[in-house]
Amino acid sequence: ALHLAQAEDGKGLDDFQKVYNAIAEKLRDEDEFDGYIGYGPNLVRLSWHVSGTFDKNDNSGGSFGGTYRFKKEADDPANKGLQNAARFLEPIAKKFPWISHGDLYTLAGVTALQEMQGPKIPWRPGRVDADEKDAPENGRLPDASKDGNYVRHYFGRFGFSDQEIVALLGAHCLGKTHLENSGYEGPWGAATNTFTNEFFVNLLNENWKLEKNDAGNEQYNSNKGYMMLPTDYGLIQDGKFKKYVEKYAKDQDAFFEDFKSAYVKLLENGIDFSKLGKAYVFKTLDEQDS
């Protein structure tokens, strides 16, 4: 059965907005990280990795239990580089000991996206920390060296449509790949910390060359120093995916709307929120500047 959301007792919008603001202020303050990209993209990746372990066949994994806090999950080779996001969140967890790890990891991704000018992401609390025995085994996160069909099959495990898959991958407009983390490198100089539909525009407009990188892995490089993973590139090799790439390259609002819905589905997969009221929509720091 699905995990039943149980919100932290007596905590409401104002309490979670305080956590949002603490993360957002720390993001602004520590802007030099990773060549002045900042922690935003890394926090978004953490929120996806703690959710992407979900398996609808037995409702295991997923964001509910906050099991990333255990080495068994944190040390998954696929999570290499996310130690930065985890370290960033430690003082936040200390300042707000009442928030569960699952809620913190997902709220941090929402905060980062909104502070990077992304869409407003409705968010619901109620994830409850589980034990180490509930941590999913390694190997549930995707392999970047594969093609579009692999990506379709992989996300089929969560019940995502072609349109939801393409929208979700639009998050690859943020940050960069790091050779020491994943065996992929780049984009050089083009890495961004602003949420846009640029990933789709680049996919369609650049001429991509498949090259071996310094780790011996094949990736697509463009003469502007952009890069795409083989799984990224699979979105334009596969006709059914490509039509959504074209839609989002033309219409950023449509991308924002569809990304928001798919991202919420990713973060809430496997959890029954029916006992809770409506989702919270947080104000950005800019919207609160009195």
Ligand X SMILES: CCOC(=O)c1cnc2ccccc2c1N
Give the separation between CA 38 and CA 35, rounded to whole angstroms: 8
42 binds, among ligand HEM, ligand X, none (CB under 5 to 8 A by kind): ligand HEM
**Phi-psi domain of 47 (left: phi exceeds 0; alpha: psi -120 through 50; beta: other):** alpha
Q: How far is the CB of 227 from ligand X (least distance, A)?
A: 6
Q: Check if 49 is active-site.
A: yes
Q: How many residues bind ligand X (CB under 6 A)?
A: 17
User: Is 228 a binder of ligand X (CB under 6 A)?
Assistant: yes
Using the rule CB under 6 A, give the single segment among 13-21, 63-71, 119-127, 167-175 that binds ligand HEM.
Answer: 167-175
**Sign of the CA dihedral 56, 62, 67, 69?**
positive
What tokens were used for 46? Answer: 């953490």
In angstroms, how far is CA 71 from the centroid of its own chain?
Answer: 20
Closest CA to 79 of 196, 280, 70: 70
**Sign of the CA dihedral 84, 100, 79, 115?**
negative
Q: Check if 48 is active-site.
A: no
User: Is 191 a binder of ligand X (CB under 6 A)?
Assistant: yes
User: Is 121 a binder of ligand X (CB under 6 A)?
Assistant: no
User: Is 44 a binder of ligand HEM (CB under 6 A)?
Assistant: yes
In DSSP notation, 139-175 reads --SPPTTS-HHHHHHHHHTTT--HHHHHHHHGGGGSB
Q: Which of 50, 110, 166, 171 contacts ligand HEM by CB under 6 A?
A: 171
Q: Provide the binding-site residues for ligand X, judged by CB under 6 A.
A: 172-173, 175-177, 187, 190-192, 198-199, 202, 226-229, 232
Catalytic annotation, residues: 49, 188
Task: Please give the residue ranges that form the binding site for ligand HEM (CB under 6 A).
Answer: 41-42, 44-45, 48, 81, 142, 144, 151, 168-169, 171-172, 174-178, 181-182, 184, 229, 231, 263
